[in-house]
Amino acid sequence: MQYVHSLNLTLSCRSREHAGTERPARSKNVQILAGGGTVGTCAKFVLRRRSALLDLKGRKKAAPILEPIAAGLAKIGVTPTVVTIVGLAVTVGGAVLIASGYLFWGGLTAGTGVTLDALDGPLARRLDRASDRGAFLDTMSDRLGEIAVWVGASVYLRDEPRLLVLCIVALAFSLLVPYVRAKAELAGLDGRGGWMGRAERMILILIGMMAVGLGLQIMEPLLWVFVVLTGLTVAQRIRKTWQQLEA
């Protein structure tokens, strides 16, 4: 869906292909279209999924893909901890590329890191090495990877105050989503739910970054959609937890 009006903004470090090598370039008076099919498609996907990627049903659907890979890693002696650390390192590498203006390759690299990180659970179960320590490391890796991506985006947009503020708000909401769940579970309550689980957040922002890297001028609507949906998820989890608390 396209809107009637457009916004004129200066977008720093727009990535593009030049002589076979991608190089960051400054673009002046770039016309940012207020809309775009990519953002709309990603948003519809998120709303339809309702965080299914994070629940048991979503994991079962992903199992046919993840389990064979986990089996191969187990055969060559790779441990879940190694997979978690490598996944985080690759995600951080993608964030560095995003900060440098290579949005497509940064999004693709960070997405690869996120995918690697999803393998530690199946691998731990296959090796019968699931533990509280591993779960803690996985959670910390998830948060650090997400922070890295948003720091990279913030550095890339450092010359655009409005977009930079949106990045900061997006990061704050992203951290609040698991925080509300953790506080609820600490009280013995169910704090899950909402549209924007970690998988949905990473899918939306990384595919969006890749689309911008390919030349689609959707950065601002992408950030707005992310902020609104993630903010609503925080509100949904707070409401669900509040309803379970005794007066």
Residue ranges per domain, the chain?
2-240
What span, in angstroms and rounded, lies between the C-alpha atoms of 131 and 242? 30
What does each of the 247 residues of the chain score in pLDDT, given as a tens digit?
A: 433 333 333 333 344 333 333 434 334 333 343 344 555 555 554 455 544 444 445 556 666 777 888 888 888 988 989 999 999 999 999 999 999 999 999 999 999 999 988 888 888 888 888 888 888 999 999 999 999 999 999 999 999 999 999 999 999 999 999 999 999 999 898 988 888 999 899 999 999 999 999 999 999 999 999 999 999 999 999 999 999 987 5
- Spot the catalytic one: 55, 128, 142, 159: 142
Q: What is the pTM of this model?
A: 0.76
User: Which CATH number is 2-240's, of 3.90.1150.10, 3.30.465.10, 3.30.470.20, 1.20.120.1760?
Assistant: 1.20.120.1760
Active site residue 128: no
User: Which residues face 2 on adjacent strands?
Assistant: 35
Backbone angles phi, psi at 38, to 5 degrees: -65, -50
